[in-house]
Chains A and B, each alone.
Chain A
Amino acid sequence: MRRVHHWQNYLLLAASYFFYGYWDWRFLLLLWFTTGVDYFIARLLDSISDGHLRRQTLLVSILINLGVLGFFKYFNFFIGSTSRLLVALGVPVGLPVLSVVLPLGISFYTFQSLGYVIDVYRHKISASKNLVEYSLFVAFFPQLVAGPIERAGDLIPQIQSPRVINFEQWRRGIAIFIWGVWLKTYVADGLAPLVESVFQLNGGPSTATATWIGVGGFVFQVYADFFGYSLMARGLANLLGFKLSTNFDFPLFSRNISQFWRRWHITLSNWFREYVYFPLGGSRRGHRRTATNLIITMVLVGFWHGPHWTYIVWGLINGLGLTVHRWWQSKIPSAQSRLGQYISSLISASLTALFFALSLIIFRAESFTLAAKIFSQLWHGPWYIASQDAAHLLIATSRIVPVLVIDGWLKLKNQIDGYADWAWWVRPIAAATAVYLILFYGRQSSNFFYFIF
């Protein structure tokens, strides 16, 4: 059995490298470099007892990982920003610009590998002694390019142990996968045209109605796109006998921004909480320091998404939102009656969704100028429904309403994996409906939104 399991790991690793190399084989070298460096540094950390030396060894890993990430993802950003600053100061210089494609999934696998080294440093796990197993942990193809960012303590033991695949796992895997494809092709890609018409570079619609539909549509597009991918990854992993982490926990029903960030892109939020926010001191060093830590963490979360000032400002806004919420929470007493709680929950959830939707304008817009224009259109555009807006509205309603209704039901039942946990006779009906909508009403898109990160 164990021998079979080892061969499974070899096969999975080869498949993962083929999957990644199929896009561009040259970036496999980068993946191997990150894997090799962290594997040996973790082994080294396990063999060193001197605290100072361990810290320095960890620092080497952090510098190498962030150095590679910074070089490929952020080099041009820093060069461009420095050039603009020098020009503003009256020192025109021609700094070199790097012409390189962003390696697919580099932010995801770098953070996963770095998290592993930090966990070894903290003695939370032992360093893996098998290079194939560790390589598979970094390159496991269902989650390689867009997460979930797995903790080594969760995934490596699954790689090390023989896996049992039974009918129940397959059934769940297929159900979860179909659910993910439905979210991606029917919801996210279906909403794409109306979102693009708002966020296009050369203008966008002029009515406030169309802008609100586009902005609201983007919230559901990005949710369904990324959640859909995460579900597909979970479903595929299930088929292979693995269990990946949940990345979304009905974030659109969050009653405040803190709750939202515990439910949206959970594995990334957890990574930053564990390896950035807590080391900064978390919430244990007074209100001011907590606020500073929150803002620093969220700015870095924004910056993780890409080398643009819009992402940084988006992170900053969310950091400020979290800070204000902490302050607000301590000032406002919670409602006592059931009706009061219900109403306050409804208002809180609506305000949270609105806050996130508005912050996403900056996230999605190519520039601050465009973001400002869209903000302006939200409030100052005409409020009639043009014929094109009616078509937009029809598309948006046919995508958003099912997501809200189904997510509401799933949340009520606490069923995180879509219809996979519904009654045996309801599942095929749900699957057929999803397949029908995917085939006849889904749109084809070549990309996932989170692939660019």
Chain B
Amino acid sequence: MDDKAVIFSISSSRIAKIAAGILLFLGTLEILGRADLIIYKASFGVDYIPPFATVTKDDGFGKTTHPYQKWRQLSLNKYGFNDTDDYNFDRKPGKVRILVLGDSVAMGTGTGAGDWPSIMEKYLKDRGYDVEVINAAISASLIESTVDRYQNWEKNFQPDIVLFQKDARRIMMPPDAVVQRIWPLRTFQKHSAFIRKTIDYRPEDYRLGVIWQRFRYGIYHVESRLSASSYLNYTEQISRLYDTTLAEQSELVLITIPWKIGLINIEDNREDAAEINYYMTWLTAKATIVGGDIFNNYLVNFGKNNKHVDTVDLRDVIGPEHSELFSDVVHYRRRGNEIVAKYISNQIEPLIKRYE
């Protein structure tokens, strides 16, 4: 090696090619992104709702609440459930035990309006049933880790009936990262601050934003996209849950999650859709709106095709046409919680009678 060797060299004649290469690189990303949206429409029959260009950044987000949301400090028991009671594992004869697995919708975070499982328990007791409801829902927990935990808990809780309600985003990977990252914050206020932090890092260009988020906070948002593999993962987790309840001779009840922005009204609710986009990334929105309905349909069919499993389709009682019942795009206000609790308690009443 001669003494003229240098550590790094680049000839000036390459600069034009490099510039053209960068343009080709970015152009290809853009074309693929748009092609993805076309495939999306062809697959699901609706336009993907707007890119971030249509969204106005709300500087108050994370500092102020949604009009229907209230700050609420939660009391958590040693399992991380929304409860002050650490539970007694001993089963009382004749008492029907119902275990609720879910996320924030069932846990009651995000609205300050309580949770439907505790309202449902009250309704059932008022009707004379000897039941105890253990609300094991954990905000932002994933389906896979929930099933993992359930497989450990059930040896202790021994439920007669398991109610399961989780939305499409909860199929994110890897399983425990979200819970580890968000859940220790414990309060809605801190939770929102976390989400705000991710938005602060989002540049205006949505696709670059997604890429950036992937590196910065990638696990939370982007992994939840709707894809064949997430659908497959979802179906596998539901099967795991079903196998576990079968083995323990418990009845499984799958509960769908309706969204304020339903598939039907998606074009008529551009503002709300933009809000979803604002809270999440376009990929997450894609998973929640369209994926949500696909997964909801899967639950309904699963209930029809298998024994010892029922489905409660909440879309029959609450949905885009009842926006007044929602506090945001997915969480219920007090009245919404009451309607949901009443509907579920009606649906599971025959099951409870069987165990009495």
| A contact set with B: CB distance below 8 Å | 1, 4, 161-162, 164-167, 170, 190, 193-194, 197, 387-388, 391-392, 394-395, 398, 424-425, 427-429, 431-433, 435-436, 439-441, 443-444, 446
Distance in angstroms between the alpha carbons of A436 and B25 in the assembled complex: 10
21 contacts between A and B (CB under 8 A): A1-B1, A164-B5, A166-B10, A167-B9, A170-B8, A193-B232, A194-B232, A197-B236, A387-B235, A388-B235, A425-B20, A429-B25, A431-B25, A432-B24, A433-B32, A435-B29, A436-B32, A439-B210, A439-B211, A439-B214, A440-B210
Binds A, one of B125-133, B158-166, B220-228: B220-228
Q: A441 to chain B: which residues have CB within 8 Å?
A: 227
Complex Cα gap A193–B235 (Å):
12
Q: Report chain A residues within 8 Å CB of B223.
A: 444
Interface status of B152 (Cβ within 8 A of chain A): no
**Which of B22, B229, B233 touches A428 (beta carbons < 8 Å)?**
B22
Given contacts A162-B1, A193-B236, A391-B235, contact A432 B229 (CB under 8 A): no
Contact of A162 among B5, B8, B236 (CB under 8 A): B5
Q: For chain A, what secondary structure do more than half of its interface residues adopt (helix, strand, loop), or is it mixed?
A: helix
How far is the CB of B106 from the nearest CB of chain A, in Å? 27
Q: How does the 8 Å CB contact mask read for B219-261 relative to A, with 1 for contact and 0 for none?
A: 1001101011101110110000000000000000000000000
| Residues from chain B with Cβ under 8 Å of A440 in the complex | 36, 210, 222, 225, 283
A437 CB, min distance to chain B CBs, angstroms? 8
Q: Which residues of A contact B53 (CB under 8 A)?
A: none
Interface of B is mostly: helix
Q: How far is the CA of A114 from the CA of B259 in the complex (A)?
A: 63
Query: Assuming A162-B5, A436-B28, what are 4 further A-B pairs, CB within 8 angstroms?
Result: A424-B17, A428-B24, A432-B28, A444-B174
Q: Taking the complex as formed, is B306 at the interface, i.e. its CB lies under 8 A from any CB of chain A?
A: no
Which residues of chain B have C-beta atoms less than 8 A from A443's C-beta? 173, 229
CB distance from B265 to the nearest CB of A (A): 27
Instruction: Specify which chain A residues have a CB less than 8 angstroms from the CB of B227 in the assembled complex.
Output: 441
CB distance from A109 to the nearest CB of B (A): 28
Residues of A within 8 A of B3 (CB): 1
Closest to B28 in A: A432
Closest-CB distance, B36 to chain A (whole angstroms)? 7
Chain B interface (Cβ within 8 Å of chain A)?
Answer: 1, 3, 5-11, 14, 17, 20-22, 24-29, 32-33, 36, 173-174, 210-211, 214, 219, 222-223, 225, 227-229, 231-233, 235-236, 283
In the complex formed, the residue of A with least CB distance to B229 is A395
> Shortest distance in angstroms between A55's beta carbon and chain B's nearest beta carbon?
37
Partner of B173 from A424, A433, A435, A444 at Cβ < 8 Å? A444
Supposing A162-B5, A425-B24, A432-B25 touch, asked if A392 and B32 sit within 8 A by C-beta, the answer is no
**Bound CA–CA A431/B210 (angstroms):** 18
Closest 10 CB pairs of A and B: A432-B28, A428-B24, A428-B25, A167-B10, A428-B21, A391-B232, A162-B1, A436-B32, A432-B25, A166-B9
* Chain B positions within 8 Å of A435 at CB level: 29
Chain A residues contacting B174 (CB-CB under 8 Å) are 444, 446
Residue of B nearest to A431 (CB): B25
- Chain A hits for B222, CB < 8 A: 439-440
Docked-complex contact B28 and A433, CB < 8 angstroms: yes
B232 near A436: Cβ-Cβ < 8 Å: no
- What chain A residues lie within 8 Å of B20 (beta carbons)? 425, 428
Q: A193-B229, A424-B17, A425-B20 are in contact. Are A164 and B28 (CB under 8 A)?
A: no
Residues of A within 8 A of B33 (CB): 436
Evaluate contact between B228 and A395: CB separation under 8 angstroms.
Answer: yes
Please give the distance in Å from B33's CB to the nearest CB on chain A: 7
| Nearest B residue to A424, CB-CB | B17
What's the minimum C-beta distance from A404 to chain B, rounded to whole angstroms? Answer: 19
The answer to whether A164 touches B6 (Cβ under 8 A) is: yes
Q: Give Cα distance in the complex from A444 to B175, angstroms.
A: 11
A398 to B39, CA, bound (A): 15
